[in-house]
Structure 1
Amino acid sequence: MPIRTIITSALCLAVLSGCANAPFGQSAEVKRGQLVYAKECSQCHGATGDGGGPASLGLGMTPPNLTTLAQRYDGVFPREYVRRFVMGLSEKDDTSGAMPEFAKVGLRHVYPNGGADGEVLEADFEDMLDYLESIQQ
């Protein structure tokens, strides 16, 4: 195969890869989940999920580092535990804690005008869980 054909093919592949909807290895669901996370969670848990968001200063406690959830659960992302905890469907050590129960309050920052009747849309929540799983260290 001539070198010119190889170079042309490589350039075409590079250009076409830039046209994808999401970066290589990151699905549209993860990107949507990142948006939901940014609007609903990052103020406390930080932009990168490390627990250092600007609103965390007034909580009296440090929100957990969400990038190490899998580390704390033997290398497996605890998807169902996170779902139940965030939705307010599990026992919490501190029931007066700052963590909102999204089953009650809805995604009020994703839908500030009351879209989706203030509910948590299952697709939005699944996408957010996909994003959290993608940022595990």
Structure 2
Amino acid sequence: MRPQIFSLMIGMLGVGLIAACTPEEMPQVSDGRALFMENCAICHGADAKGNGPMARAMRNPPLDLTLIAARNDGSFPRVQVLSKIDGYTKADLQGPDMPEFGALLEGDLVPLDTGDGVMTPTPRKLVALLEYIESIQQTR
């Protein structure tokens, strides 16, 4: 019986966190663009095509972030992109790879559906950056 009570309490906490967020509080694509320019453009370029000032100095140049969905059969892999940004997934690059962005994990949480229909409390800045990267997807 105790595991059921614990599960119920965790579920209620998640619902409370999600209910506390109103649509006005959700991050905007413009918030994500500002974070991208501040954290990512040095390597990925202002246009996110992998041509930033540091790209020439890297053994393995950064990927074109505008083609993530195209490389995944037209589907934007939200979970994988989040994992790459927050450093949970490490790249198989020789030499320095993508840095972890701990500051993006700080601050308040907003609900995010990563594609499984479950609203998961996720750091606002991380969601903003994800939304921006998803918004710039192109077809080949």
Which structure carries more strand by proportion? Answer: 2
Corresponding position of 1:43: 42
Corresponding position of 1:136: 137
Contact 2:60 2:93 in 1 (8 A): no
| Distance in 2, Cα, partners of 1:61 & 1:120 | 29
After TM superposition, the structure 1 stretch with the greater mean CA deviation from structure 2, 127-136 or 51-60, is 51-60
Shift of the 60–44 alpha-carbon distance from structure 1 to 2, 3 Å rule, reads same
Larger radius of gyration: 1
Alignment of 1:3-82 (within 5 A): 29-82=28-81
Point out where structure 1 has 5 or more consecutive residues left out of the alignment. Answer: 1-26, 108-118
RMSD: 2.0
Alpha-carbon offset, residue 84 of structure 1? 0.6
Identity level (%): 36
Shift of the 131–86 alpha-carbon distance from structure 1 to 2, 3 Å rule, reads same
- TM-score, normalising length: structure 1: 0.64
Point out where structure 2 has 5 or more consecutive residues left out of the alignment. Answer: 1-25, 108-122
Aligned partner letter, 1:51? G
Contact 2:44 2:51 in 1 (8 A): yes
